[in-house]
Amino acid sequence: MSYKSTLAANSFLGQTIVITGGGSGIGRCTAHELASLGAEVVLIGRTESKLAVTAREIERDGKKAGYFSLDIRCEDDVARTVNTLLQTHKRIHGLVNMAGGQFRAPLSSISQNGFERVVQTNLVGGFLMAKTLFNEHFKTYGGNIVNVTADNKNGMPGMGHSGAARAGVENLTKTAAWEWGPFGVRVNAVAPGWVASSGLDSYPEEMKHAIRGLKHAVPLGRIASEAEIAATVCFLLSKGANFVSGQTLFVDGGASMGSAPALYPLKHPRQPASKTWDGFHLSTTPDVLR
């Protein structure tokens, strides 16, 4: 079996793409798709074992992958890693800022430390990766950055720290696109809605019922596959998006459209309104959705 991308074969042949959070979830899926299209992917994350597993999967498919284990919230670590990268790769073509994380809690219960750690992971880390690659490489050669945020249009009740950070990412994307555009750097963001990713299984038991019911708040009647998010990331990295910059693409099945669920409750037939597309040959359904 091999990855079934919707983009043309060899779309990224000869390119090197860096992916933070590339060891699991949507980041892992995106790494597989880019590699299947000819890219050499460099995975970045804190847990070396996850990065190693994903790299081996890609290599077993006959593609190229490497990895670096570091904390992207540490500017010195980011600088050292980028320096090493540029010693071994003459050209870096793109950066996907996928790394993120949060925990569920109401605003009134989040400590300063908890709030700051989530903001550092979801906002500061991506900023440091983008800024360092721009200063050391993209400023001279051009490049392509895709930041992965989340659907935060109407706030993120229960995850206010993450919502604040990801709204910051969206604004940072616009600023970077404006400031770095003259150097041939495109910067865009992808805002996924609910995704059938491995991360769903990490939430506490009391959330499992709510997770299974998420599809009922989506006009298309289902949640996304990891591959449907990866496909959008890959499109924004591709030549077909060469005149797209400073934009955030919401990939959420229409769930972000205001207060419609409260005013016009959705009534779904037995089958979802659209079929899931999943070209990822190693994808698995989260336990909570089985």
In the predicted model, residues of the chain with pLDDT beneath 70 are 258-273, 288-290
Taking only the tens place, the pLDDT of each residue in 54-64 is 999 999 999 99
**Domains in the chain and their CATH numbers?**
16-289 (3.40.50.720)
One-letter amino acid of 124: V
Would you state the pLDDT for residue 197?
81
Would you state the pLDDT for residue 263?
44
> 82 CB contacts (<8 Å, ≥6 apart)?
129, 132, 133, 136, 137
pTM as predicted: 0.88
Taking only the tens place, the pLDDT of each residue in 201-222 is 777 777 777 788 888 888 888 8
Would you state the pLDDT for residue 266?
59
